[in-house]
Every structure is written in structure tokens, then in C-alpha cells.
Amino acid sequence: MIVVLMGVTGSGKSTIGQALAAQLGWEYFDADTFHSVENIEKMNKGVPLSDSDRRPWLQSLRETIREKLAKDESAVLACSALRENYRQLLKINSLVRFVYLKGSYSLVKERLSSRRDHYMNPALLDSQFQTLEEPTDAFQIDIGSSPNAIVEAIRTQFNI
């Protein structure tokens, strides 16, 4: 199984993903590490990425998911996957499960204001919420809960 944790920047994808993967003994992937230098520079400057900027990034994520599934290995992937067509590209089959880490704009903005050493410019939060197409077929969880409670809810939902 591949569990994809999705949501806007600051929703806790990395924190939850690392904790979930550690508990399960699964490999953890952070989609941020798949971005090109050019994409990172754009985001650092507060410039939203276009679909053409994202295409090679999404293709590399899809290939990673495909490779894990081909080896019958499970993994956790933290990836914004803000649009439905991005999620469809990543959903190779029914073994790819999405978890939508949902939070209010004010909560996420508060979290981003205290964040350090991350290239994502907090000014991009507006564009993230504008781009977000909330999924109707993902397990949805409120990010106001503790990381431990969120991880436990995910494990219970997917029986893992």
C-alpha cells in the first residue's frame, strides 16, 4: 500500500508522514525532495508553480509509486497533490490511498509563521488554497488534532 498524505503547505504532511512511516517500518518519501532546482527557486521567491512546472515532478512521483508497487513494497508519500488531476496521475491503482490533511487558513498561516528552514515562501499560502480541489474520495482528517492522534486515525482507517 502507498499512503499519500496530501494538503496545503503547513498542513503537517512531513510530520505525520515521518511518524506514520516510522511506526509501520515503511519507507518515507517527501515530494518536496523531487522538485527541480528551478521549482524550488520559484517557490522560494513566492512564485506559484504552473502545471508545466509540476508535470516532471509529478511524473517522477508516479514512477516512484509504480516502482514500490511493482516490488510489493509499502510506503508513505507526503505530497501536496492539490488538484484532482494530480491525484489521478498518482493513483496508479487501489493500493494508493489518499489522506487529506485538512485545516483552516488561519491555523495553517499560524503554523507557517513559526516555520524555519523551509523553501516554501509563506506568501504562497493563498495560491495553495486557491489551487486546492478538495478530494471527495480521500480519508479526511482535521489537522487540529495531535500528530499521534492523526497517525492513529490513519492506521485505524486503513487497518495498518
**Cell numbers standing for residue 83:** 488538484
Which amino acid is it at 47? V
The DSSP letter of residue 29 is E
In CATH terms, the superfamily for domain 2-158 is P-loop containing nucleotide triphosphate hydrolases (3.40.50.300)
User: Does 146 score more than 80 pLDDT?
Assistant: yes
Q: Would the pTM of this model clear 0.75, i.e. be above it?
A: yes
Tell me the CA distances in angstroms from 138 to 8, 122, 133, one per residue in order: 15, 26, 12
Every domain of the chain and the residues it spans: 2-158
Is pLDDT above 70 for 46? yes
For position 116, what pLDDT does the model report?
Answer: 58
Does pLDDT of 138 surpass 80? yes
What pLDDT, on the 0 to 100 scale, is given for residue 24? 98
C-alpha cell at 135: 478530494
Contact (Cβ atoms closer than 8 angstroms) between residue 10 and residue 138:
no
Q: Render pLDDT for 79-136 as a digit per residue (tens, 0 to 9).
A: 999 999 999 999 999 999 999 999 999 899 888 876 655 445 556 788 889 889 999 9
CA angle 20, 61, 44 (to 5 degrees): 90
Can you give the pLDDT at residue 119?
Answer: 44
